[in-house]
Structure 1
Amino acid sequence: MLKPADLPVESRWRASVLEAVADTGRFRVARPVRAASGDWLHGGWEAWRHAEGRTDPKRWDDALDAGAAFHEALAGVARPAFLDDRDDWWSRADRVSWDLEAVEEHPTLEPLMRARRPVGAAAQAVHGDLLGNVLYAPGLPPAVIDWAPYWRPAGWAAAVAVVDALCWHGAGGSLLAGAERSDWPQMLLRALLFRMITDREAGRAGGGEWHPHPAYAPVAALVIAAAASGA
């Protein structure tokens, strides 16, 4: 499988990490392939071995389990320096959603921003787009693919998957339950802000005025209620 390398330093780092991650009974990964030169890139492209399976974003429980196992395997990985310089819609949205000094005056974003509080959960390397990037095949553990690396608590990565399931794939509000995860309501707030602000950044790039998708409003109400109750 070939992919364009949008940020070469990120592509090389991701390949070097995944080359060393061991598959387990709970997850597997697509393995990177070196070019004939020995580099992970050639002509602006990266290569990965085909991983058997198909995506199914309605299998959110399985994706969360696979993500938890994947993040356990990444717990000792050092923070990569390229995250400080990466500048795209997603990275900007991630920084704003975590910046407690940031102010958003949009009526949908502002209540979410105000509900944020400091968190104590430790950051690590995580997958920031998990739900649609897990493959399922009979007789095999789920395969985690297309790793979008961020340096956030593992609970935040789970919260992004939960928000995606609620907004786009018909999950019920019971999926918000996550008392065993550290700072869970705060992770949900930041995850939803991350998705919404990314959409806004994309709208700005297109030169249009941003109007939040209607799917966000009911999920925002649930997340704000969870933060208010501390559940």
Structure 2
Amino acid sequence: MTTAMPPSNAVLADFGIPAADHEDLRNLPGGRGLTWRAADTVLRPSAGDGETLWKASVLAHLPHTSAFRTPRPIPSASGAWTIAGWEAWEWLPGHTDETRVADVLATAAAFHRAVADLDRPDFLDAARDPWARSDRIAWQEEDLPPGDTLRRLADAFRPVAAPAQIIHGDLLGNVMFERGQPPVIIDWAPYWRPVGFADAIVLADAACWHRLAPADMLRLADERADGRQHIIRALVFRIATFQLLGVWDAEMEARHAPAVTAALS
């Protein structure tokens, strides 16, 4: 049972949610128990930082296609994207399915084409969370944490020629499917890297956590430019994140070992 406090009635009203819907406020699974739904609006705590405001401004106007869509941000009565520590988004139906790797990759390709012309956002330089640091580690912009697995992967680093752009770096569990509707992309995790890196994170996550055979991980990676390098860097990204979070242990190492062995074969 969650102990997170819901948004107040004043916040709900500021985001345009009718008073009649305030009593139907429901805590949603995921999002660390901090996300709430009222009618067709999803509310979650907001830092109100540069990343939050940048994503809202982009997704408010990003054209949707038959291949993907995203929830639209909902402005407050004043037009601000955040109010009293909360942000609001359109609720769209759907469910994730981490076994639908090919469908997630196809959705990712459509999304990355749609955002390919965006400039690099400044907030990326200030990010210091474990995920941002691990992204830099995977691209040799920050020192490697200690550990044999990371060292063996890093020894296999080679230059990557593919250009960088803004990507979504956590897609496998953040693409929702609904019959008869385009897939929905949620919880954008922005990085400035080659699109192949985003695809490789999908493949590495599927191999380590959702029973994609390591051979299939490599086969799909090798269909893409610099595919093996992106897989190696995706594994470094995930493993370094677990280490920085303090959750990397023998069980985690065993879970990742088949994918690591395949990537280094």
**Alpha-carbon offset, residue 176 of structure 1:** 2.0
SS at match of 2:60: helix
The question of 1:175 aligning with 2:217 is answered: yes
Conserved? CA contact 1:128–1:149, under 8 Å: yes
Conserved? CA contact 2:201–2:234, under 8 Å: yes
Which amino acid in structure 1 is aligned with residue 229 of structure 2?
Answer: Q
SS at match of 2:238: helix
**Alpha-carbon offset, residue 7 of structure 1:** 5.6
The CA RMSD over aligned residues, in Å, is 1.5
TM-score normalised by structure 2 residue count: 0.80
1:141 equivalent in structure 2 = 182
1:156 equivalent in structure 2 = 197
Aligned length: 220
Of residues 185-194 and 101-110 in structure 1, the stretch that sits farther from structure 2 once superposed is 101-110
Counterparts in 2 of 1:34 and 1:7: CA distance versus 1, 3 Å: closer
The question of 1:220 aligning with 2:263 is answered: no
* Unmatched segments (≥5 aa) in structure 2: 1-41
**1-side partners of 2:159 and 2:167: how far apart?**
19
**1-side partners of 2:142 and 2:87: how far apart?**
38
Which amino acid in structure 1 is aligned with residue 224 of structure 2?
Answer: R
Listed as ranges, the matches of 1:62-211 within 5 Å are: 62-99=103-140, 102-172=143-213, 173-177=215-219, 178-203=221-246, 210-211=248-249
TM-score normalised by structure 1 residue count: 0.91
2:54 equivalent in structure 1 = 13
Off by >6 Å, runs of 4+ in structure 1: none
**Alpha-carbon offset, residue 140 of structure 1:** 0.6
**Alpha-carbon offset, residue 9 of structure 1:** 1.0
**Alpha-carbon offset, residue 152 of structure 1:** 0.6
**1-side partners of 2:191 and 2:139: how far apart?**
12
Which amino acid in structure 1 is aligned with residue 55 of structure 2?
Answer: R
SS at match of 1:108: helix
* Unmatched segments (≥5 aa) in structure 1: 226-231
SS at match of 1:21: coil
SS at match of 1:199: helix
